[in-house]
Structure 1
Amino acid sequence: MNWAGIVIDGFIWFVAVLLLVATLLPLSKLPHGIVRGGEFPREQIFLLAVVMAAVMAITQKYHLGSVGAAVMAMVALVQMIFILKFTPIWPKQSVAADPDLQNDTDRHISLITANVKKSNRDYGRLIDLTRDRAPDVMMAIEVDDEWIDALKDGLADIYPHWIEAPRDNGYGMCLMSKLELVEPQVRDLIVDNVPSIRTIVKLRDGQTCRLYVVHPEPPVIDHDTKGRDSEIARVGIEAEEDHLPALVTGDLNDVAWSTTTRRFQRLSGLLDPRVGRGFYNTFSATMPWMRWPLDHLFHDPRFRLVDMARLGKIGSDHFPMWFVLALTRSEACESEPGESEEGEVEEAEEMIREEKSKDREAIGSDWEDE
């Protein structure tokens, strides 16, 4: 008996079943970490399924090889359906700025959003990057008091406006701006000690927009995702009701193609500049084989995209993101992420009320303890 062959065949079928389960579970849309976590590695599952289809067709005997290869091909197809829109072959959702708007810098807003990883103490890399790029607005996530002090020492001379919400639990954030900020707010939207920022930003030409910075809880295998989903949904509903053109940015602890993010876009009407342009995977900066887009910016259709880039490493497990947008004085573009489904707003509001009524500690509050 060829035991080596049996072991190899067993491993091949184990991997195939694992890929199939990881593909089917997220289709249930159940709001639990072990289900929603399967939405993250769609690129990796797609590539593995393609490889496994070839392996099974070549190595597995009789009709089982054909069946296994066909199932893996279907797995790859399902994953491709979700990720294809983030490739250049898909129509772009965000409209690029025309040459006149690109040159009218008074209507521009440039932003960097960076999850610094609280335990990372290499402050200088982010400070140097910020000085080099010189964004109008810089947002740092997972900051504590030591991070705030270091950023102020390095950047206070170029950023007169600050909103600070340091936390020791990995959910702290701060916003620094060259542009005037009006009605700045720090709010715990759903869970205590999980802050978000909301403010009006005044552009150089006098126009104003609303900026939301969020960092909800991550999905974990032993907890539901309703806290994260509720915070994302609430910001989406607020942005849709806002009379000002809105920008929502931050580490959403969710991928661009997920159930939660797609619902957020339908609720808010905001556009994703990655659609039709690329994945811009920001996590993990330390594991190149396991990367997905966690750090986001969504914008009102009245904005046009001038520039977008993933920036270099700053000692964190996230890459920072760079965006430059221009606010038009004309009507919104015709591009839209889709209409809300029937009853979707009411379901989201009920989930938000339910989660706000709970008295619990934020997920992962001790993860960044040194």
Structure 2
Amino acid sequence: MIHDILFYLSIFLIITTIIPFIRHDFWIFRVFEFPRLQKLVFNAVLIALILFFSFPEILMDYIVIGLLSLNAAYLIYLIFPFTRFGSKQIVKAMNAPNENNLKVFIANVYQENRNSSAYLKLISSCNPDVVLMVETHEWWQEQMDVIGKEYPHQLKIPISNTYGMLLYSRLELFDGEVKYLVKEDIPSIETLVKLPSGQLVKLFCLHPEPPVPQENPKSTERDKEILLVAEKAKASKYPVIVMGDLNDVAWSYTTELFGKISGLLDPRRGRGFFNSFNAKYFFLRFPLDHIFCSTDFSLSSIKRLPSCNSDHFPMCVDLQFNPKAEKLNDAPVASEADLEIAEEKINAETTDS
């Protein structure tokens, strides 16, 4: 009985690792990209249980143990870059924070959450230059507008469909625009931010739909929005920061493709997972809230902040503009195949097309 249960659980786990190789946009093929760390832990537990309860006796047992071992090795390969043992894409800032630093705070507040005071305290303690809050409607705008005196430069799109966005900045914003890149009810923000040194930085803020049955059964719209921003970032003549809840994990195929197309860096690589979702369930946590930057930045700090009753942890990242870092950073590069796949995804038919 135990032998059969462990056998079928092992086969199921192996299948969940194979499924993401199928490059289909339907949610069932994309959702298994998320829990790679959880699958690795489950994989290790299964191997231990099989060896303890039913030491391999027949050929099929040895095959299953072998497949689980290969599965574990592959999962380690996928998540290793996001451990402290992986190589860093972006170097640590060589100078103390100065007039070229830009500290950003991002939070998916969970629209029905009413603990705005906790966010206000966090913003005060983090002391960021730019604050981005998503899943924000009119109530959230009313609560957060109290920081308006300290953060007078604002772009606000309060919407009750869980895709509202509030951007507050103590630094001057230029050419700020609200875009609807893929769907007419899902906004993103593009703006220039002027650092105290006078340097302009292009900022992209986004929150695409997740590929889940209750939202959108396909990842087509999410992937398209992410990759459209990647192309915009690559074409920018300014240093670039992309931030927001991408509803995709840091190690997914689409996020890796985003990095290659945009040439932007992920400060988590070589530093840790910084799992920002789900704040309510410790065993189901993934890195969904992202901050990427161009190669002319170095990193002063990156922190996952305490929960404020949302299902997401806020993130605070302090970046330092430094063109000298460009030679030291490890910029991802797109192959011809990557460019073709990205173009195909960008041109894909969507439900609003």
The answer for the alignment partner of 1:3 in structure 2 is none
CA contact (8 A) 1:269 1:336 kept: no
1:332 aligned counterpart, secondary structure: helix
User: How many Å separate the matches in 1 of 2:117 and 2:329?
Assistant: 40
The answer for the alignment partner of 2:247 in structure 1 is 253
1:106 aligned counterpart, secondary structure: coil
User: How many Å separate the matches in 1 of 2:317 and 2:120?
Assistant: 17
TM-superposed CA distance for 1:18, in Å, is 1.4
The answer for the alignment partner of 1:342 in structure 2 is 336
User: How many Å separate the matches in 2 of 1:276 and 1:24?
Assistant: 26
1:56 aligned counterpart, secondary structure: helix
Q: Which moved more, 1:143-152 or 1:64-73?
A: 64-73
User: How many Å separate the matches in 1 of 2:192 and 2:269?
Assistant: 26
| Aligned pairs for 1:228-267 within 5 A | 228-267=222-261
User: How many Å separate the matches in 1 of 2:52 and 2:123?
Assistant: 52
| Aligned pairs for 1:1-370 within 5 A | 6=1, 8-60=2-54, 61-63=56-58, 64-98=60-94, 101-103=95-97, 105-152=98-145, 154-221=146-213, 223-330=217-324, 332-355=326-349, 358-359=351-352
Q: Amino acid of the residue matched to residue 238 of structure 1?
A: K
User: How many Å separate the matches in 2 of 1:48 and 1:346?
Assistant: 36
2:96 aligned counterpart, secondary structure: helix
TM-superposed CA distance for 1:329, in Å, is 4.4
User: How many Å separate the matches in 2 of 1:319 and 1:36?
Assistant: 23
1:120 aligned counterpart, secondary structure: coil
User: How many Å separate the matches in 2 of 1:97 and 1:197?
Assistant: 27
- What do residues 92-143 of structure 1 show as CA deviations (whole Å, max 9, x unaligned)? 1111111xx224x111111100000001111111111111211100000110
CA contact (8 A) 1:190 1:352 kept: no
CA contact (8 A) 2:107 2:315 kept: yes
1:85 aligned counterpart, secondary structure: helix
User: How many Å separate the matches in 2 of 1:123 and 1:90?
Assistant: 36
1:191 aligned counterpart, secondary structure: coil
2:179 aligned counterpart, secondary structure: strand
1:150 aligned counterpart, secondary structure: helix
1:340 aligned counterpart, secondary structure: coil
CA contact (8 A) 2:93 2:300 kept: yes
User: How many Å separate the matches in 1 of 2:228 and 2:21?
Assistant: 23
User: How many Å separate the matches in 2 of 1:18 and 1:350?
Assistant: 31
Structure 1 gaps of 5+ residues are 1-5, 361-370
TM-superposed CA distance for 1:157, in Å, is 2.1
1:206 aligned counterpart, secondary structure: coil
Q: Amino acid of the residue matched to residue 218 of structure 1?
A: P
2:132 aligned counterpart, secondary structure: strand
Structure 2 gaps of 5+ residues are none
User: How many Å separate the matches in 2 of 1:27 and 1:353?
Assistant: 21
2:230 aligned counterpart, secondary structure: helix
**Cα RMSD for the two superposed structures:** 1.6
CA contact (8 A) 1:102 1:326 kept: no
1:325 aligned counterpart, secondary structure: strand
User: How many Å separate the matches in 2 of 1:93 and 1:212?
Assistant: 20
CA contact (8 A) 1:233 1:348 kept: yes
The answer for the alignment partner of 1:366 in structure 2 is none
TM-score by length of 2: 0.95
CA contact (8 A) 2:153 2:172 kept: yes
User: How many Å separate the matches in 2 of 1:44 and 1:265?
Assistant: 24
User: How many Å separate the matches in 2 of 1:355 and 1:324?
Assistant: 37
TM-score by length of 1: 0.91
Number of residue pairs matched by the alignment? 349
Q: Amino acid of the residue matched to residue 21 of structure 2?
A: L
Q: Amino acid of the residue matched to residue 71 of structure 1?
A: L
Q: Which moved more, 1:307-316 or 1:324-333?
A: 324-333
Cα 1:93–1:9, aligned 2, differ >3 Å: closer, same or farther? same
User: How many Å separate the matches in 2 of 1:333 and 1:118?
Assistant: 42
User: How many Å separate the matches in 1 of 2:78 and 2:86?
Assistant: 12
Q: Amino acid of the residue matched to residue 272 of structure 1?
A: D
CA contact (8 A) 1:53 1:68 kept: no
